[in-house]
């Protein structure tokens, strides 16, 4: 995965691309031609107008399919603004852009922290020759989302009485989508927008960590049995983490993998004392009972697949009411704990899948190197512990520095990193669908490999491959 800097760009593969910005932000997009102006109000994609030809907004995730954009469109500008209008971006966590394709994560862009600006032009997807590219921007804008829309040519009509604009951004209290439950699924996590408030149930504000809340476990295990999956058991640590995250979402009044405090649901799992091999989550607003929650998850393919995933052995559930709106915020966590043998087994599986790709390409397999493995494992653990994601550590050490510190004396070193993937198959597939990472895996000169992984960082699982020759 590429780390972009302001002005940096990269070519996009054919097909759809998704961009995601988690946190207390609204994501918007402006579709323009080479002159930088929209053709009409339909070219402004935001929470009250979440789709246009070739572009669709779902919560904090924008999906763009360039060939399907309206005729003449050559550029899509991705914009973030505070979820609470008028809040300077400098008071919020720094927004970070994650770019993905169906094959895996492609790039990450963390712009310089904004100051008093209320809108940030984060990136643009633009046509160059016969293909499409993405450019990191990070340009602040002080006139608000309505002012930005006007400058792009959107007709924003403000009513002196304070009514919502006829076109363009409307107040946060406006309904987003149809009433009912909305859900996020775990890989990759993509928090949805909040629906209209359901009737507030006459229930406690959260479930006790030590009990089966309203028969939740029986409902889940019945569904898992029907799918041929083994049962899960409730875990008090997962329930504690779920309660903390549901409370954070209720306090913020919005769904999200990351709370207003900047802590992700995965970090809450680790903080509760749970070390996991794999983890998944459902973040939902709308259901009034655990039975409604489970039924909603089973009504859609991906959430249902997570609920019935045979890899999970333990679960935790909590729900917290927002006293202002009456909305109920739910967090369900699914996990398998890390056991002593899992580290070696999972690393060996990554190596095996990597070598299958090399053999398929006519190359010799790589030999596992314990010193490279030590360095790779330490880097994954460090990224989790210090909540960063980079080939360069906060104090400046690079892959070859870490290899040398572990005692490896290889003449050439290469490194792949990834975050968010839940399994060896998923992470190797993602690397193989990224040209730079694929080049490392298929480099003929490399002879040895070390693999490390750790869970609990802001994006969940963090993976490292260290290659040597």
Q: Is the dihedral of CA 62, 21, 240, 424 positive or negative?
A: positive
**Prediction pTM value:** 0.55
| Whole-Å CA distances, 121 to 65, 79, 136 | 20, 5, 9
Contact 77, 30 (CB under 8 A): yes
Q: Where are the alpha helices (DSSP H) in 253-328?
A: 265-271, 290-298, 301-307
pLDDT of amino acid 370 = 95
Degrees (nearest 5) of the Cα angle 226, 229, 235?
115
CA separation for the pair 101, 118 (Å, rounded): 29
Here the tokens at position 105 are: 């994560």
Cross-sheet strand order for the sheet of 51-52: 2-4, 104-109, 97-101, 17-20, 61-64, 55-58, 51-52
Which residue has tokens 């935001």? 46
pLDDT of residue 194: 29
Instruction: Compute the chain's Rg from CA coordinates.
Output: 23
Which residues share a beta bridge with 117? Answer: none
DSSP secondary structure of 213-259: GGGHHHHHHHHHHHTTPPP-EE-HHHHHHHHHHHHHHHHHTS--SB-
Checking 309-313 for CB contacts under 8 A at 24+ apart, the result is: 309/229, 309/280, 309/334, 310/228, 310/229, 310/230, 311/278, 311/336, 311/422, 311/423, 312/232, 312/278, 312/280, 312/336, 313/230, 313/232, 313/233, 313/337
239 vs 333: CA distance, rounded Å: 8
How many Å apart are CA 25 and CA 43, to the nearest integer?
Answer: 20
Q: Which residues contact 410 (CB under 8 A, 6 or more apart)?
A: 369, 372, 403, 448, 468, 469
Q: CA-CA distances (angstroms) from residue 330 to 113, 285, 303, 375, 456? A: 31, 6, 14, 39, 20
Element (H or E) spanning 194, and its range? Answer: none
- Kindly list the averaged pLDDT for each block of 10 residues, start to end, along the chain of length 469: 76 90 86 79 80 87 91 90 76 85 83 76 86 84 63 50 31 22 31 29 36 80 96 94 92 83 89 92 88 89 90 94 83 92 93 97 96 95 90 90 93 90 90 87 96 90 94
- Those residues whose C-beta lies under 8 Å from the C-beta of residue 168, and which sit 6 or more positions away, are 41, 44, 46, 145, 146, 149, 154, 155, 156
Beta-bridge mates of residue 51: 56
10: enclosing H helix or E strand: strand 9-11
Other beta carbons within 10 angstroms of residue 129's beta carbon come to 6
Backbone angles phi, psi at 9, to 5 degrees: -140, 165
Distance CA 411, CA 422 (A): 32
The token pair that represents 237 in the structure block? 């640590």
* Residue of 65, 78, 77, 76 lying closest to 25 (CA atoms): 78
- Strand partners of residue 99: 19, 107
Q: How many CB atoms lie within 10 A of CB 188?
A: 22
Burial class (CB in 10 A: 0-12, 13-18, 19+), 102: exposed
Provide the token pair at 52: 């246009």
Q: Strand 367-368 relative to strand 448-457: parallel, antiparallel, unpaired?
A: parallel
Question: What pLDDT does residue 155 have?
Answer: 52
DSSP 133-178: EEEEEEEEESSHHHHHHHHTT------TT-PPPSSS---TTS--SS
pLDDT given for residue 164 in this prediction: 30
Distance, CA of 294 to chain centre: 23
């Amino acid at each position: 995965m590429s780390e972009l800097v302001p002005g940096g760009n990269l070519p996009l593969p054919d097909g759809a691309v998704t961009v995601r910005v988690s946190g207390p932000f609204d994501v918007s997009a402006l579709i323009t031609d080479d002159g930088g102006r929209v053709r009409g109000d339909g070219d402004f994609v935001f929470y009250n107008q979440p789709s246009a030809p070739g572009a669709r907004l779902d919560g904090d995730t924008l999906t763009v399919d360039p060939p399907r954009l309206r005729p003449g469109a050559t550029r899509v500008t991705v914009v973030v603004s505070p979820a609470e209008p008028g809040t300077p971006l400098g008071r919020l966590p720094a927004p970070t852009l994650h770019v993905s394709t169906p094959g895996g994560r492609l790039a990450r862009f963390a712009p310089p922290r904004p100051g008093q600006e209320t809108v940030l032009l984060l990136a643009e997807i633009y046509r160059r020759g016969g293909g499409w590219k993405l450019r990191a921007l990070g340009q602040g804008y002080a006139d608000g989302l309505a002012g930005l829309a006007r400058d792009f040519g959107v007709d924003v009509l403000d009513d002196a009485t304070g009514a919502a604009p006829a076109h363009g951004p409307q107040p946060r209290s406006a309904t987003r989508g149809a009433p009912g439950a909305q859900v996020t699924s775990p890989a990759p996590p993509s928090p949805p927008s909040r629906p209209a408030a359901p009737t507030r149930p006459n229930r406690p504000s959260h479930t006790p960590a030590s009990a089966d809340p309203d028969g939740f476990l029986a409902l889940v295990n019945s569904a898992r049995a029907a799918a041929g999956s083994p049962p899960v058991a409730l875990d008090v640590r997962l329930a504690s983490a779920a309660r903390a995250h549901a409370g954070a979402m209720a306090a913020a009044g919005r769904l999200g993998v990351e709370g207003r405090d900047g802590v992700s649901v995965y970090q809450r799992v680790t903080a509760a004392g749970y070390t996991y091999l794999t983890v998944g989550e459902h973040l939902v607003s709308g259901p009034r009972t655990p039975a409604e929650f489970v039924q909603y998850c089973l009504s859609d393919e991906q959430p249902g697949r997570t609920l019935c995933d045979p890899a999970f052995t333990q679960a935790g559930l909590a729900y917290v009411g927002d006293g202002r709106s009456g909305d109920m915020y739910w967090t369900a966590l699914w996990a398998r704990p890390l056991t002593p043998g899992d580290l070696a087994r999972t690393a060996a599986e990554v190596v095996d899948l990597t070598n299958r790709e090399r053999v398929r390409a006519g190359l010799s397999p790589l030999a596992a190197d314990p010193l490279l493995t030590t360095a790779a494992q330490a880097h994954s653990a460090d990224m989790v512990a210090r909540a960063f994601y980079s080939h360069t550590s906060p104090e400046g050490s690079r892959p070859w520095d870490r290899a040398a510190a572990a005692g490896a004396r290889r003449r050439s070193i290469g490194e792949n990193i990834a975050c968010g993937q839940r399994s060896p198959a998923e992470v190797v597939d993602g690397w193989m669908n990224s040209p730079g990472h694929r080049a490392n895996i298929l480099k003929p000169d490399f002879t040895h490999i070390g693999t490390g992984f750790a869970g609990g960082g802001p994006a969940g699982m963090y993976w490292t491959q260290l290659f040597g020759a």
